Amino acid sequence: MDKNRKAGMRKPLIGTLLLALFVGLGSGCATNPVTGKNELTLVSESQEMAIGKKNYGPYRQAQGGDYVIEPELSRYVQSVGDRLAAVSDRKLPYEFKVINDSTPNAWALPGGKISINRGLLVELETEAELAAVLAHEIVHAAARHSAQAMERGVLLQGALVAAGAALGNSDYRDIGMLGANLGAQLTRQAYSRDAETEADHYGMRYMLRAGYDPAAAVALQQTFVRLAEGKRPNWLAGLFASHPPSQQRVDANRALLAQMGNPGGEVGKARYQRVIARIKRSKPAYEAYGEARTALEKKNLSTALAKVNQAIRIEPDEAAFYSLRGEIHTARDNDAAALKDLDRAVALNPDYFRPLLVRGITRRDAGDMRGANRDLERSVALLPTAAGYLGLGRVAKTNGDRRQAMSYFRKASTSKSHAGRLAGEQLARLDLESSPSRYIKTSLGLSQDGYLVVRVNNGSALAVTGVRVVVGPRSNAGIREQASYRLRRTLAAGGTVRLRTELGPMNTATARRYGAIAADARLAE
């Protein structure tokens, strides 16, 4: 069978196996509680609940953590959400959280786990508009739209086994997010057109049931279309990525409003503006913070420090500002000032992973291994990252615990981030010489005249030398050595070389009985 035909068969086979897996987990027909339609369900309700519960916390961490400065704002959003959830067609353990991120965004995970960003709240005008956003997300959860996406196979093509950051945000690429990948896939993918239509349609009906003026949903979509036409980058990276606006959606909402008879209802503009007064007032602080982070990434430390100081003067209670200033001080080799700011950041928001991660790394550099270990363990418990496990591995290595260090480095090395690559190097330094076959991969082929050829690949992040490859017949005990070959050259990281052996001539059937393994290797200094 030719290679193209094999490749063509492989995808349907994988899809069949995945379908069989989900059917085995529990499938059947069920009535959608929102639309009343009969639908094939491959993801059970218990699985929906488990997915939402497992990913809700880590994904909020990955998006900036909860906004904690104003508990009353969070309670207010929860109260509006509860009011809408009470009239929804599906009773779920709904939760509504405010995320401390300036990107205008809102999202729902399966099981009713919903979040809205601080950056979207400041763009809305009324409580009815907030209700329009939350009602839309409630419908996504109640109508199983994320579960339907999984059933279509959108996520089964790697999301469940993904390693590394699933987010485009540069703040998280370098630290190598190892958790919340499924949550990221669920909330960043675009919903189908039918799902968006349903969320708009039934969201307006939920607003009416809860006593809100559904006309706010029309105004909200008009605002989104205008902002999309303006191509504001933070909007395009936020809500529009998963909820693309269109004039058709505006027209559909307007038609439904007319069908409802323009019923009116509660708008709540004064109340809403009163509640969001602080985040509107502090918006310039978060803009300065964004500029400070960009300057830090560009190694412009003076500008970064000036901008973050400006942010702190405007909003002195924001933990993220002190955390960033701590990072800037670290870059300026001022550990004492860095730790002072990081202590302040942790005190202001003890349940956010980022300041704990940065403080743990800074404490390790300052020689405080106990404090570093405590901070880093707490950080990876909140959000597993390659940077966190890299730091824990370095602490364990300093403490002489080689086995624990290797375990942490191995976890971190699954990420393709910079931290993951550093962890791979550390792991190779500790493990390669004692277990070369984990890193030096071999495969066999035949030359045109029937002699075995060994392909040797250095899968580690470090150059190696003195590689010795053993070739021989396979047995239950492994490979029975018949010949041994030592490379006379250094093999660079990722490098590959081919060795022609003296074993042959033989046919393909005989060659399949042979194997090869890297028996020795040393790190090239």
Q: Calculate ∠ Cα 397-398-399, nearest 5°.
A: 90
Count other C-beta atoms under 10 Å from residue 332's C-beta.
14
Alpha-carbon distance of 208 to 260, in angstroms, equals 9
Half-sphere exposure of 27 (CA within 13 A, CB side): 15
Phi, psi of 240 (to 5 degrees): -70, -20
The pTM (predicted TM-score) of the whole model is 0.81
DSSP 41-53: ESS-HHHHHHHHH
Contacts by 168-172 with C-beta closer than 8 Å and gap 24+? 168/237, 170/297, 171/293, 172/62, 172/385
Locate 515 and state its tokens: 């194997």
Omega into 104 within 30° of 0, i.e. cis?
A: no
Maximal CA-CA distance, the chain: 88
Band of pLDDT at residue 151, cut at 50, 70 and 90: low
243-254 pLDDT tens trace: 677 888 899 999
The distance from CA 141 to its chain's CA centroid, rounded to whole angstroms, is: 20
What are the b/e assignments for 399-433, b being 16+ CB within 10 Å? eeeeeebbbbbbbbbbbebebbbbbbbbbbbbbbe
217: confidence class by pLDDT, cuts 50, 70, 90:
very high
Q: What is the pLDDT of residues 109-131, one digit of tens each?
A: 889 999 999 999 999 999 999 99
Provide the H-helix boundaries in 63-126. 71-85, 118-121
Of 404, 440, 357, nearest in space to 177 by CA: 357
pLDDT in tens, 412-467: 998 989 999 999 999 999 999 999 999 999 999 999 999 999 999 999 889 999 99
Q: Which residues are catalytic?
A: 137
What is the set of domains in the chain, with CATH numbers? 32-154+189-275 (no CATH), 283-431 (1.25.40.10), 436-523 (2.60.40)
Measured CA to CA, the distance from residue 92 to residue 298 in angstroms comes to 45
Enter the DSSP assignment of 253.
Answer: H
**How large is the average pLDDT for residues 53-82?**
95
pLDDT of residue 7 exceeding 60, the answer is no
Residue from 126, 29, 39, 140 nearest 88 by CA: 140
Its sign, for the CA torsion 428, 434, 436, 438, is negative
Which of 370, 418, 351 lies closest to 390 in space, CA to CA? Answer: 418
CB atoms within 10 A of CB 29: 8
